Amino acid sequence: MTTLFHKYQGTGNDFIIADNRKGELNGLSTETIHQLCDRHFGIGADGLMLLQEKEGYDFEMKYYNADGKEGSMCGNGGRCITLFALHAGIKKEIYHFSAADGPHESIIRTNGIIALKMKDVHEIRKHKEDFIVNTGSPHLIRFVRDLQQEDMVTKGRAIRYSKEFAAQGINVNFIELEKDEQVVQIRTYERGVENETLSCGTGATAAALICYHNENGFNDVHVKTKGGILQIEYDRVGDQQFQNIWLCGPAKKVFEAKLDLEIFRK
């Protein structure tokens, strides 16, 4: 079975995307998806997404982690699949789509930036000296002094597989404020990828909520990932209420190719 796959990236967070509106890719196995995402034996990606039909929406975003298992919300993935939807002939001023954590809106702005509306957040929990916040996917946020010197893989993996988090899994983010405290630097260890990624949209969003500039009202926080800058806009209403959260940043198509899936099933 030969299928057309596409590769997209958003600040270095890269994805394999395919149009599955006819259902031809239903039933892809965990192992096949894992092999497709393998950077040595497949296409290579942080995850795979299928654009699908869903009544009442412009499309459904079906997301799988690089380990082949169905994942929770992926922010950069949501931005990339919005651009893919446009390229696939779905043309809207505002896109309405369904994802693992519910409905989302997205907009392709005139400057090429793709803005994705995230779910509202109603709680930030303290965990020892760290913070835990769910922005569609669960994230642990830790402030560090020298971010670039951190052994992100070793330390991130240790937290992700610790007794508290091993069963459900958690994404681990180390962050550092730049000197003027206007920009947040971040590095992320992602569950499902089980490695550090160049960028994580839900992680950047979680960090931005913690590093607000205004006690109440509109906030605009820039988050510097290894793959580029993400801008998170939101309204802070009290200590634990975050609304109108928009994850904004670039997304690009990298390439497309036809693949015989039987190769990956052997």
Instruction: Tell me, yes or no, whether 40 and 96 share the same domain.
Output: yes
Instruction: Tell me, yes or no, whether 75 and 141 share the same domain.
Output: no
Max CA separation in the chain (angstroms): 56
Instruction: Tell me, yes or no, whether 241 and 259 share the same domain.
Output: no
Q: Mark whether 37 is an active-site residue.
A: no
CB 111, CB 132: distance < 8 Å: no
Q: Give 28's strand partners.
A: none
Domain annotation covers residue 120: no
Query: Please, is 140 exposed, middle or buried when counting C-beta atoms within 10 Å of its C-beta (0-12, 13-18, 19+)?
Result: buried
Instruction: Tell me, yes or no, whether 241 and 183 share the same domain.
Output: yes
Cα–Cα distance, 169 to 263 (Å, whole number): 31
Position with higher pLDDT, 233 vs 264: 233
Cα–Cα distance, 137 to 72 (Å, whole number): 6
Query: What's the chain's average pLDDT?
Result: 95
Q: Give 113's strand partners.
A: none
Cα–Cα distance, 160 to 188 (Å, whole number): 11
Q: Mark whether 80 is an active-site residue.
A: no
Spot the catalytic one: 37, 74, 211, 248: 74
Q: What local confidence, expressed as pLDDT, does residue 266 receive?
A: 59
Q: Is the confidence at residue 62, as pLDDT, over 90?
A: yes
Instruction: Tell me, yes or no, whether 212 and 244 share the same domain.
Output: yes
Alpha-helical runs (H) found in the chain: 30-37, 75-87, 152-160, 201-210
Domain annotation covers residue 106: no
Domain annotation covers residue 70: yes
Instruction: Tell me, yes or no, whether 225 and 139 share the same domain.
Output: yes
Domain annotation covers residue 117: no
Q: Is the confidence at residue 52, as pLDDT, over 70?
A: yes
The pLDDT tens digits of the residues spanning 126-165 come to: 999 999 999 999 999 999 999 999 999 999 999 999 999 9
Instruction: Tell me, yes or no, whether 143 and 240 share the same domain.
Output: yes
CB 8, CB 84: distance < 8 Å: yes
pTM, full prediction: 0.96
Domain annotation covers residue 118: no
The first and second tokens of residue 117, run together, are 């509306």
Q: What local confidence, expressed as pLDDT, does residue 177 receive?
A: 95
Instruction: Tell me, yes or no, whether 233 and 131 share the same domain.
Output: yes
* CATH code where residue 203 lies: 3.10.310.10
Instruction: Tell me, yes or no, whether 228 and 142 share the same domain.
Output: yes
Instruction: Tell me, yes or no, whether 230 and 260 share the same domain.
Output: no
Structurally, how many domains does the chain consist of? Answer: 2
Q: Is the confidence at residue 40, as pLDDT, over 80?
A: yes
Domain annotation covers residue 158: yes
Query: Please, is 144 exposed, middle or buried when counting C-beta atoms within 10 Å of its C-beta (0-12, 13-18, 19+)?
Result: middle
Q: What percent of the chain has pLDDT over 90?
A: 89
Which residues, other chains included, contact 110 with Cβ-Cβ below 8 Å and sequence gap of 6+? none
Q: What angle do CA 137, 35, 254 make, to 5 degrees?
A: 75
Average pLDDT over residues 31-57: 96
Q: What angle do CA 136, 240, 238 make, to 5 degrees?
A: 135
Domain hosting residue 83, numbered range: 2-100+252-265
Spot the catalytic one: 37, 80, 200, 248: 200
Q: What is the CB-side half-sphere exposure of residue 4 using CA atoms within 13 A?
A: 8
Instruction: Tell me, yes or no, whether 25 and 87 share the same domain.
Output: yes
Domain annotation covers residue 85: yes
Q: Give 238's strand partners.
A: none
Q: Is the confidence at residue 217, as pLDDT, over 80?
A: yes
Domain annotation covers residue 112: no
3-state secondary structure 209-253: HHCCCCCCEEEEEEEEECCEEEEEEEEECCCCCEEEEEEEECCEE
The first and second tokens of residue 234, run together, are 């939101």
Instruction: Tell me, yes or no, whether 155 and 93 share the same domain.
Output: no
Query: Please, is 12 exposed, middle or buried when counting C-beta atoms within 10 Å of its C-beta (0-12, 13-18, 19+)?
Result: middle
Q: What local confidence, expressed as pLDDT, does residue 214 receive?
A: 87
